[in-house]
Amino acid sequence: MKKTTIALASSVLVLSSLLAACGGKEEAAATTEDGKPVINWWGWAPQPEVGEAMAKAFNESQDDYVVKFKRLEDYEQQLQVAMLGGDGPDVIGLKEPMIPQYKDRLVPAKDYMDKAAGAGWKEKLIELGVEQTTVDGEQMAVPVGFTGQAYLMYNKTMLDKYGVTPPKTYDETIAAIDKINASGDKVIPMQLGAKDAWVGTDVFNVLSHQVAPGYIQKVLEGEAKWTDKEMVETAELWQQLFEDKVFQEGALGLATYMDGMNNFFDKKAAMWVIGSWEAHSMTTVEKRDKWNNFEDEIGFVPLPNLAGGTEQPVIASIDMALGVNKESKQQDGAAAFIAYMTQGEGQALYMEKFEMAPAVKDIEVAYEDKFTSDVERESYEILNETVKNAVAGRGIRDPKVYDTLGKELQNIAGGQDAKEALERIQAIADQGK
């Protein structure tokens, strides 16, 4: 009898533990100690301290809700798993390519923004942002900020030492690299973190606009092919840049974060191919606190034209849009927060973190006293201006094409035949039709 009791008791304990693990979390997270509903906001951006600051600012601006921010590293994968299990956040942070993927899971923006932000909210947004958050004619999320690619983030102090100015053309780039190498210093002249497939995809995208402006958009829309001569020429240019060591030897083994970033701030790289979001690294506060009083001047210019021309096109996409989860039990609170971040004082506050360019028109961002030097101030202006005038979006909406393009670009950079690689990409693109 005693044995039976013990055995049954342990079975019940395990069973109740299993059931508790499967449910009950929602209720536990629903309210704070003050009895205010908690709005869970997830994203891969902004940086953790910035996201927490934005949540805090919203919480202090009203008394109805409490927003909690969680930044996840493998965000898209973790979000997908959470949404499958019904554990997704109330406010979903979205990159542009994610919006069509999640369209079935989002509340259409007009259903809540008219009430939360008032009439005319849509007209305040930059048109490209509305376009990139619209799927099948319906706007599914509200844009917060844009980021652009590709730029050279350069250490001006180092370039001055080598007698080099930020290059604008292929010839100027080669001259700059040769001059830095001739110094004998162990410095990477132009660094690319090509281990990250997303970096290669962005840079290839920009190169394609240098080779054949706008052509890649036709390919992405299915009106042209990856194997067309314009794309083959771009792929061969991409390969040539590695063979000619324009991008440093070993680029395919270097991760952008944190290895590439550490190289730049350890002064082991004079120029770094990166996106506009790194503008925050130029601020006085970050140079002092995050990079141990980094004193060198930093600047940004668009990626030089490496295709033999002079135009330096930039591509830009919504890097953070916010959407309301259809399964959220706090949709009003989620809507209030989104209105704050995209239309209210939250937008201006966030723009002063210098991670992204504004998604609304006519916004004044106080930046002059945030940077130490004129070069940095001018660079911030260059970033904003070029993102605003981007020639096309960054995003590739088909996730299979996006991932395959990234991998095949690594194959091409490693010496594989460019045409064959593009054929494989076209085969994947054809699957989606």
Partner 1 sequence: MQHATELPEEQPKLSAVPPQRPDSTKKKAQLKKNLIGWAFVAPTVLFVIAFIYYGIFYNAYHSLFSWDGISFEKTYIGFENFGRMFSDPEFYNALKNTGIFTVLTVTIQAGLGLVLAYLLHTKGVGRTFFKSVFFFPVVLSPVVLGAAFSQIFDFQFGYINEFLRMVGLGAFEQNWLGDQDVALYAIILINIFQWTGSSMIMYYMAMLAIEREVFEAANIDGAGFWRTLWSVVFPNLKGTTFTLTILGVIGGLKTFDIVWISTQGGPGNSTEVISTYLFRKSMLHQEVGYASAVAIILLIIALSITYFQTRVQKKMD
Site residues for partner 1 per CB under 8 A: 3-4, 7-8, 10-11, 13-15, 18, 76-77, 80, 83-84, 101-105, 186, 188, 194-195, 197, 248-255, 259, 263, 268, 399-400, 403, 407-408, 410-411, 413-414, 416
Cβ-based nearer residue to partner 1, 346 or 406: 406
Shortest Å, Cβ 368 to partner 1: 37
Shortest Å, Cβ 71 to partner 1: 17
Cβ-based nearer residue to partner 1, 3 or 433: 3
Task: Please report which helix (H) or strand (E) contains residue 190, including its range.
Answer: strand 188-191
Shortest Å, Cβ 94 to partner 1: 12
Cβ-based nearer residue to partner 1, 192 or 307: 192
Cβ neighbours of residue 367 closer than 8 Å, sequence gap 6 or more: 352, 354, 377, 380
Shortest Å, Cβ 88 to partner 1: 10
Q: Please give the full DSSP string across 241-304, using - where no structure is assigned.
A: HHHTTSSPTTGGG--IIIIIHHHHHTTSEEEEEE-GGGGGGGSHHHHHHTTTS--S-EEEEEPP
Q: Which residues pair with 42 in a beta bridge?
A: 70, 92
Cβ-based nearer residue to partner 1, 351 or 418: 418
- 150: preceding bond cis by omega (within 30 degrees): yes
Cβ-based nearer residue to partner 1, 70 or 267: 267
Cβ-based nearer residue to partner 1, 263 or 281: 263
Shortest Å, Cβ 322 to partner 1: 17
Shortest Å, Cβ 212 to partner 1: 25
Shortest Å, Cβ 112 to partner 1: 21
Q: For residue 196, how many other CB atoms are within 10 A of its CB?
A: 18
- 46: preceding bond cis by omega (within 30 degrees): yes
- From the list 327, 365, 389, the residue with the least C-alpha distance to 128 is 389
- From the list 356, 359, 329, the residue with the least C-alpha distance to 344 is 359
- Is there a contact between 306 and 172 (Cβ–Cβ < 8 Å)? no
Q: For residue 125, how many other CB atoms are within 10 A of its CB?
A: 21
Cβ-based nearer residue to partner 1, 12 or 363: 12
Cβ-based nearer residue to partner 1, 261 or 390: 261
Cβ-based nearer residue to partner 1, 40 or 263: 263
Q: Which two tokens stand for residue 327?
A: 């399964």
**How many whole angstroms separate alpha carbon 125 and alpha carbon 130?**
7
Q: What is the distance in angstroms between the CA of the first residue and the CA of the last residue of the chain?
A: 66
Shortest Å, Cβ 334 to partner 1: 19
Shortest Å, Cβ 163 to partner 1: 23
Task: Please report which helix (H) or strand (E) contains residue 209, including its range.
Answer: helix 197-211
Q: Which two tokens stand for residue 285?
A: 């506060």
